[in-house]
Amino acid sequence: MGGIFLLTLIFLISKEFKLFKNLNILSIFLITIFFSYFLPILFGYIFKPALLSRYIIFILVPIIVLTSSLINRIENKKLKTFFFILLFSSTLLNQFTEQTVKQFFNKRVIAKPQYEKASNFIAESKYKNYIIRVVDMKSDDESINAIKNYINIINKKNNYKIHFYSKEKAKTLKEPIWIFCDQTINPKNCSLDTKFENYKILKEINFNSINLKLVKSKI
């Protein structure tokens, strides 16, 4: 779906490129799209992904307006009709592949990490201590704090307290401890790293994009 709109927009821009030589409302839309969408995508390919869909949802407005305006400027009626039918039909058919429609016929697929279910599971278990695993990221501390704060909000909402410990503090605990691994920012298998080579897994459970391991020191 995105590819159809992208190719359509690129074709229309190249066809009506003379319209963008002067500063006008259409060129402003194009500049907005370039700096808010295409430039960050290029940055992501060269360095590190920097886009999240929820942060650039506003870009749909200039894309739709620019695409519609350029289609309306096409003088060839057959070509104009073709683009209208292409975009309308593809948008309509795409609805049947999305959860907004599929949820009425099939079980809804959970897309977000199930932080609350994972937290509830820890709260209902015998052991209330956990650590958060974050690897291969440039801002581990910020990521851990963000997840920790989110879990604390869940704890407060459900009137229970789960104790957070660092890896260093976990080594001083004699009782088992949960390793909380978000698979959206960690390797998919969430395997134990070298810092836990002296630990054994007592229990493991998966929620959507969340892996919990109950581990205990072998020493």
- Average confidence (pLDDT) per 10 residues, the chain, 219 residues: 84 85 84 83 78 76 88 90 90 77 65 83 88 69 79 82 79 84 77 80 90 87
What whole-number distance in Å separates Cα of residue 190 and Cα of residue 181? Answer: 6
Domain count, the chain: 2
Check residue 62 and give its pLDDT. 87
Question: Is 107 among the domain residues?
Answer: no
110 falls within a domain: no
Domain boundary among 54, 78, 102: 102
Rounded CA-CA distance 33/218 in Å is 55
Question: Please, what is the Cα angle at 49 between 46 and 55, to 5 degrees?
Answer: 135
Q: For residues 56 and 9, state if they share a domain.
A: yes
Residues 6+ apart with CB under 8 A from 71: 12, 80, 83, 84
Residues 146 and 211 in one domain: yes
Note down the domain range covering 8.
2-102
Is 131 among the domain residues?
A: yes
Whether 97 and 163 map to the same domain: the answer is no
Q: 79 and 139, same structural domain? A: no
- Taking the model in full, what pTM does it have? 0.54
Domain shared by 130 and 87, yes or no: no
For 161, phi then psi, to 5°, come to: -125, 125
42, 20: one domain: yes
Domain membership of residue 122 (yes or no) is yes
Chain centroid offset of residue 210 CA? 14
Give ∠ CA 24-25-30 in degrees, rounded to 5: 95
| Within-domain flag for 31 | yes
Same-domain check for residues 13 and 91: yes
Asked if 8 and 56 sit in the same domain, the reply is yes
Residues 124, 212, single domain; the answer is yes
Predicted confidence at residue 209, as pLDDT, reads: 86
How far apart, in whole angstroms, are the C-alpha atoms of residue 7 and residue 1?
10
Q: Distance (Å, rounded) from C-alpha 71 to C-alpha 51? A: 28
